[in-house]
């Protein structure tokens, strides 16, 4: 009776498309796009670049696949819950993307690229379809559906991106939030009270605010405004 070679079994598992994408995500989470090189990937998987190209494609194809995998999983996780209203469904989708990007900071840049450069791709279509259906349910006139959905999607991506990587942060998008807020509060406190009454007035709110709740407030403001378009 023929027996399987343990080394062959391990090699087949390592070289599966799913395993390659999973490893790429691990590298991206650890150090951002700069860390996800072909060399790093082949070393981690103990294989050659040709095998990776055969199963997934180029490095850009792999980045797209990693993005699609995470976005699809994020949206699928919340799709089983029946929303009580269009507003609740929009909130659910928005939070799913917010949490996915918070966990994987590099995803913010990739998602923006998808929406801008690949409006026909699975990622963009999936997000717009989930959001767009609710825009119609809100009573927005059909002629305004695209503008309304675009406003929501662009807000979601823009707001989440602001809360992740900024210039000067570590490659994986992490940063010292408290130190950043301290510096901001100090700078605003030094502003002239007569020239900048608003900035001086909200200084005390900087540390008190919650990024997630602030994000949801923006969603609520936009959806409330969309209901008035009808």
pLDDT band at 204 (very low <50, low <70, confident <90, very high): confident
Which fold would CATH assign to domain 1-57? Arc Repressor Mutant, subunit A (1.10.10)
pLDDT at 116: 84
Instruction: Provide the 8-state DSSP code for 15.
Output: T
Higher pLDDT, 129 or 209: 129
Would you say residue 1 has pLDDT above 50? Answer: no
Task: Considering the domain delimited by 72-230, tell me its CATH architecture.
Answer: Orthogonal Bundle (1.10)
Owner of token pair 């390592």: 14
Q: Are 179 and 54 in contact (CB under 8 A)?
A: no
Domain-by-domain residue ranges, the chain? Answer: 1-57, 72-230
- Per-residue model confidence as pLDDT tens digits over 78-136: 555 566 789 999 999 999 999 999 899 999 989 888 888 888 888 899 999 999 999 99
Nearest to 226 by CA among 169, 149, 116, 121: 149
């Amino acid at each position: 009776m023929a027996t399987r070679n343990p080394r062959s079994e391990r090699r087949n598992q390592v070289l599966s498309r799913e395993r390659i994408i999973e490893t790429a995500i691990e590298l991206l989470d650890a150090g951002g796009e700069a860390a996800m090189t072909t060399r790093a990937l082949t070393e981690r998987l103990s294989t050659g670049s040709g095998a990776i190209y055969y199963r997934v494609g180029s490095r850009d194809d792999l980045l797209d696949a990693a993005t699609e995998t995470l976005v699809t999983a994020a949206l699928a996780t919340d799709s089983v819950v029946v929303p009580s209203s269009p507003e609740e469904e929009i909130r659910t989708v928005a939070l799913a993307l917010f949490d996915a990007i918070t966990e994987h900071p590099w995803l913010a840049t990739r998602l923006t690229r998808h929406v801008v450069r690949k409006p026909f791709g699975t990622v963009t279509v999936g997000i717009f379809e989930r959001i767009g259906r609710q825009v119609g349910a809100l009573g927005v006139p059909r002629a305004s559906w695209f503008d309304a959905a675009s406003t929501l999607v662009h807000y979601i991506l823009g707001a989440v991106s602001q809360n992740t990587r900024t210039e000067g942060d570590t490659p994986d998008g992490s940063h010292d939030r408290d130190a950043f807020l301290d510096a901001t509060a100090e700078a605003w406190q030094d502003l002239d009270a007569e020239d900048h009454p608003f900035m001086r007035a909200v200084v005390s709110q900087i540390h008190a605010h919650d990024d997630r709740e602030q994000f949801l407030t923006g969603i609520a403001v936009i959806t409330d405004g969309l209901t008035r378009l009808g």
